[in-house]
A and B are shown apart, each in its own frame.
Chain A
Amino acid sequence: MVDSGGVVVDVESLSKTFGTLKAVDGVTFQIREGEIFGFLGPNGAGKTTTINMLTTLLRASGGKAVINGYDIRKQPNEVRRSVGVVPQEYTADEDITGLQNILLCADLYGLPRNDSRPHAMELLELVELQEAANRKVGTYSGGMRRRLELASGLINYPKLLFLDEPTLGLDVQTRSAVWRYIRMLKEEYRMTLFLTTHYLEEADSLCDRIAIIDHGHIIKIGTPDELKATVGGDIIAVGVAEAEPDISADIAKIPLVKDVKKNGNEYRIKSEVGEESSIQIIDLVRSKGLHVTKISLTKPSLDEAYLELTGRSIREEESNKMDAFKQRITMMRARR
């Protein structure tokens, strides 16, 4: 059956330079068969550039990458045949129908004609577009177009699918539908997926492993839980009725507690396992004759992990659109 140890994407020090701008600066990672691997980072971090190199749209400036056993530089056509690509922008032709668009893709992959029609219908059904199959794409909503792109990306029976910002700009319902399709492809069709996103909750809920990428560098790779663990544990906030005495030193002696801060009537405690520590903390507070007024336990989110690793919140980065815009202009100029 599925060999979960197989490496389907092996990237080593891959880089891309546009003029003087290092869009991707030596990224190294591996994707194992059957997992959903995510690139998480702000706009302009190098996510799309990496995906474009791996799908042979852009020539790499340095490093190497092997996809399904094929070298992206030496065997670009083998790479193209063996992977599916769902680009960020809508690429379907508005003047022809959804079905015609998928059949066109099938022809571009060289799929035999007697196979392409049933397969196209099967895929349209998968993304729930069978009713709209014979309508011009110009009449489709944004969500329908996104689903059509997904179906087109699957036409060549890929075992590995690249998705560039699959839910960018989608409404909540369509986004959850796309998430459902992605999970289905992994769980029921045993596909390997590589996606980029700048939505933390998307990376958190979909990906088996995440690479945080910023300014063309991979900062850390790990499972969502591993990344969250870099924050240093759960946070327990305990409010007491009495400001004195200070029992910080006693709390710090409790096993698994890593750090204690007192702020007025409140203690902020970091613990490796918050559920266990909190009970011991309550017991301790009571044994000292103090009264607990409130207690809360916060699991670290990917948000906090991102902040810890990059020193900035991803939303902060988002609001700094002007920088991203300037960078994109530089890249466009360099590409000409």
Chain B
Amino acid sequence: MAQQERAREKAFRAAPNLNKSPLHGLWALTNRDLIKWYKNPIQLIISLVQPIVWLGLFGKAFNIAALFTSQPGVTQAEIAAVDLGTFGTTSYFSYLAAGMLAFIILFTAAFAGMSVVWDRRFGFMNKAMSTPVGRGAIVTGKVLQSVVRSLIQAAIVLAIAVALGMDTANFSVFAIAGTFVMLFLMTFGLSSLFVMLALRSSDWQTQMAIINLLNLPLLFTSNAMLPVKIMPAWLQTVVRFNPVSYAVDGVRQMLLGSGSAAAAAAGYSVLAPLWVDFAVLAAFAAVLSVLGIILSWRLLSK
């Protein structure tokens, strides 16, 4: 009897009630990846180098105005009109800066799948799978950490672009809020896509190959760096099927006023009306995230 008493003393306290909501653990999973990210600022700095190099070197060197000023008898007004008609803004640098916001989102989202691969490799995925946490929460956590990271990085890129001389004439609270809603939809869809592609993979070489296979084509078949107008007709068609194009188009309309009557009069045509840009991206994000959750139920268990 004495021994039984001792055993009772040693026993753990009674188990408390567990939270059985399908979303429990979602924040814990998201936060785990975020802690690892902000505790290691090198990663953030390196990921910002590329868009800054593009902006600072390419954006500044690709001075469209200089091409025309070398011609005799061309006035500043004429140059501005050509720029406005081609880019929807008189500054190529500002045009590229909007594209760079999409660029940083795309390149951050592409690596969302990598942490799935690491977690599979190091056994954390198995640990999580042996707990009652929702399979959908595992996938959504991976998507959310990528969304948070890419939006923070986009904000930094935007601040740097402004510091380097981006045209802020059209900036307003609504324009900036709208821009981040647009970028949110874009990164949500892209992160879901890349997480989905990584669900069954435990091999990071394959994952790197997938990232490289999709990243640059998604970038170059969009309007992120060059106007659609100067592309060959077949490429213009491809651009219309690339969700990145709609995000960039929407961001330019909001931040640079490229949808203005003046730009239209100068010959610039937007890819789609602003509400269509939002609708396309909302559909893209919704379809891919739902698909990701459905696939997680099937693919995460063996």
- List residues of chain A with CB under 8 Å of any chain B CB: 1, 55-59, 77, 80-81, 85, 87, 89-96, 100, 103-105, 107-112, 115, 119, 122, 152, 156-157, 187-190, 335-336
**Contact: A57 with B35, CB < 8 Å?**
no
Q: Which residues of B contact A57 (CB under 8 A)?
A: 126, 129-130, 301-302
**Contact: B28 with A104, CB < 8 Å?**
yes
**Contact: A59 with B302, CB < 8 Å?**
yes
Across chains A and B, which 5 residue pairs bring their CB atoms closest together, nearest first? Answer: A107-B28, A110-B19, A157-B15, A91-B127, A91-B123
Q: Which partner residue on chain A sits nearest B20 by CB separation?
A: A110
A96-B36, A104-B29, A108-B29 given; 18 more Cβ-contact pairs under 8 Å: A55-B130, A87-B127, A87-B130, A89-B122, A91-B122, A91-B126, A92-B124, A105-B131, A108-B131, A108-B132, A109-B18, A110-B18, A110-B25, A112-B19, A156-B15, A157-B12, A188-B11, A335-B302
The count of residues in chain B whose C-beta lies closer than 8 Å to any C-beta of chain A is 39
Q: Which of B6, B15, B35 has the most CB of A within 10 A?
A: B15
Q: Which residues of B contact A119 (CB under 8 A)?
A: 12-13
A100 to B33, CA, bound (A): 12
8 Å CB contacts to A: which residues of B124-178?
Answer: 124, 126-133
**Contact: A108 with B17, CB < 8 Å?**
no
Given contacts A81-B18, A108-B133, contact A91 B124 (CB under 8 A): yes
Asked if B60 lies at the interface with its beta carbon under 8 angstroms from chain A, I say: no
Q: Say which residue of A107, A112, A157, A190 sits within 8 Å of B7 (CB atoms).
A: A190
Q: Which residues of B contact A189 (CB under 8 A)?
A: 7, 10-12
Q: Which residues of A contact B24 (CB under 8 A)?
A: 107, 110
Q: Which partner residue on chain A sits nearest B121 by CB separation?
A: A89
Q: Which partner residue on chain A sits nearest B32 by CB separation?
A: A104
A297 to B126, CA, bound (A): 48
Q: Say which residue of A59, A103, A112 sits within 8 Å of B301 (CB atoms).
A: A59
**Contact: A108 with B39, CB < 8 Å?**
no
Min distance, Cβ A188 to any Cβ of chain B, angstroms: 4
A336 to B32, CA, bound (A): 27
A176 to B126, CA, bound (A): 27
A107 to B123, CA, bound (A): 18
Q: Which partner residue on chain B sits nearest A100 by CB separation?
A: B35
